[in-house]
Amino acid sequence: MASPGPLSPATILLQAGDLGDGRIDNFIVDRSAHLITGIIVLLTMTAAVGLVLRHAVLNQPINKLTGSVVAIAGLALAVQILIGIKLLDQGQGISQLYIHYIGGLTPMGAFLVGGWFARGDSGRSSRILAGLLLVGYVSALMAFFIGRAFVNA
């Protein structure tokens, strides 16, 4: 069998065009999915912040229930971000890019920093985690309500 020869940049680009067959581009996400997951994010983050604040005030490490609620809030936020990216790919919400980037990615940043530096395994760590989650929560509230105002305008 003869070798096809060296790969040129043009050959690589042509081959890359066959990857995925555009399946994700053919999948359309309705805007209501973003609204519903946004509500779920706010509910789960409210619960997570409330539980972590309770542990922080009592100067206790977080328990398994609180850790699970924080994980669920982070997962809901990740789903919300992925749906938002897909909606942007569909050409929706272009006028709201900055509010969504700042307001939507700041909570995820708070979760990431919290996971690195404040796991809630001591009273001090719970206080730091509560502060980080509170910043993320306020940012999520801002993104949700300002984003809704743009949609309704």
Is the residue at 89 inside a domain?
yes
Residue 17, in any domain of the structure:
no
36 in a structural domain? yes
Residue 65 located in a structural domain: yes
Domain total in the chain: 1
Residue 142 lies in a domain: yes
Residue 100 belongs to a domain: yes
CA atoms within 13 A on the CB side of 32: 0
Task: Tell me the average pLDDT across 31-44.
Answer: 92
DSSP per position, 1-51: -----PPPHHHHHHHHTTSGGGTTTT----HHHHHHHHHHHHHHHHHHHHH
Question: Per-residue pLDDT tens for 110-151?
Answer: 888 988 888 788 989 999 999 999 999 999 998 889 888 877
In a domain, 84, yes or no: yes
pLDDT at res. 13 = 40
User: For 57-85, what is each residue's pLDDT tens digit?
Assistant: 999 999 999 999 999 999 999 999 888 88
Q: Which residues, in sequence order, are CB contacts of 27 under 8 Å at separation 6+?
A: 86
Give this prediction's pTM: 0.78
Considering the domain boundaries, does residue 124 fall inside one?
yes
Q: Which domain holds residue 47?
A: 28-152
3-class state of residue 53 by DSSP: helix
Ranking 16-25, 35-44, 54-63, 75-84 by mean pLDDT, the lowest is: 16-25
CATH number of the domain that residue 114 is part of? 1.20.120
With beta carbons less than 8 A apart as the criterion, state whether 84 and 73 touch.
Answer: no
Confidence band for 16, pLDDT divided at 50, 70 and 90: very low
